Amino acid sequence: MTVTGNGAAGAPILDPAALRRHRERFEEDGFTVVRGLFGADETERLCDEFSALRAAGPVPGHFEPRAAGPGADPLHIWPRVMHPHEINDLARDVLLDARLRTVLEVLLGEEVLAAQSMFYFKPPGARGQALHQDNFYLRVEPGTCVAAWLACEVIDRENGGLEVVPGTHRMDLFCPEEADAGVSFAREYVPPPPGLAPVPVDMEPGDVLFFNGSLVHGSQPNRAVDRFRRSFIGHYVGRSAERIGGFYRTLTMNGARVELPESEGAGPCGTEFAPQGPH
């Protein structure tokens, strides 16, 4: 299924019938991929912007790389950027983009609020993130969150693309086990329920994967020799949400701050293992 963006910032080109089919798939499987929602020029600009941000040095609370050296963990040198929309205008524009808003309102059936943004570099040799559920961290009540996962380059199994477990969006939050620190930077691991298995999602630059906050998903390490796996992620909630974790600061899609009471047990998306020295 394809809904095509216009390849540049501005009014999106979205077909209502295709949007309805995306909603049907989202409700059936817990996810859907909107192909080409952003243009290659836009994803290239986004990668350039985050390369420049990294070159400018640490931004406490958002991006704090550690020194490179023999045996250093690639994710310590190229850590994910948390809440970049709070420090970068382009990231804010992408998080609040009208094309995302249009799809999200169809999927959720109501006005949406933006709750978080992230940018992953995932360089060669980087660990993945074990299977998990996003709403385990956001703790949206009632309901759940929805992720919009924008591929900024070719993403496949070799460079650690996402895997999803269709159908798990209908299930409650699971109590995670501890992940294997050799292949996952995050501590939490949710084994696929009996009879269900992860399905890889290969993506091209500009594709956006939308998925339910209860959907079990994750990624393997980046085993490519010379390819990153850069992606921009936004988390969103319906306007009817009443509570969310204190780490998340909700905005309308016009950028106005919306205060929601804090739910319990929330935290950043993926609790990282403590640094163990060279990895």
Q: pLDDT (tens digit, 9 = 90+) per residue, 201-247?
A: 999 999 999 999 999 999 999 999 999 999 999 999 999 999 999 99
- Strand pairing of 31-34 and 208-212? antiparallel
- Does residue 268 belong to any structural domain of this protein? no
- Does residue 272 belong to any structural domain of this protein? no
Predicted local distance difference test score (pLDDT) of residue 270: 54
- Does residue 39 belong to any structural domain of this protein? yes
CB 236, CB 214: distance < 8 Å: no
Cβ within 8 Å of residue 122, ≥6 positions away: 75, 78, 159, 160, 219, 222, 228, 229, 230, 231
Residues 146, 166: Cα–Cα separation, whole Å: 15
139 has a pLDDT exceeding 60: yes
Sign of CA dihedral 5, 111, 202, 51: positive
What CATH code is carried by the domain that includes residue 162?
2.60.120.620
- Does residue 273 belong to any structural domain of this protein? no
Q: Which residue, among 9, 2, 42, 43, has the nearest Cα to 229 in the 3D structure?
A: 43
- Does residue 7 belong to any structural domain of this protein? no
Cβ within 8 Å of residue 200, ≥6 positions away: 156, 157, 161, 162, 163
Domain count, the chain: 1
Average pLDDT of the chain is 91
Q: Which residue, among 259, 273, 243, has the nearest Cα to 135 in the 3D structure?
A: 243
Predicted local distance difference test score (pLDDT) of residue 277: 41
Residue 98 CA, chain-centre distance (Å), reads: 18
- Does residue 276 belong to any structural domain of this protein? no
Predicted local distance difference test score (pLDDT) of residue 220: 97
Q: Which residues form the domain of 121?
A: 16-64+72-252
The number of residues making up the chain comes to 279
- Does residue 201 belong to any structural domain of this protein? yes
- Does residue 198 belong to any structural domain of this protein? yes
Tell me the pLDDT tens digit for each residue of 148-197: 999 999 999 999 999 999 999 999 999 999 999 999 999 999 999 999 99
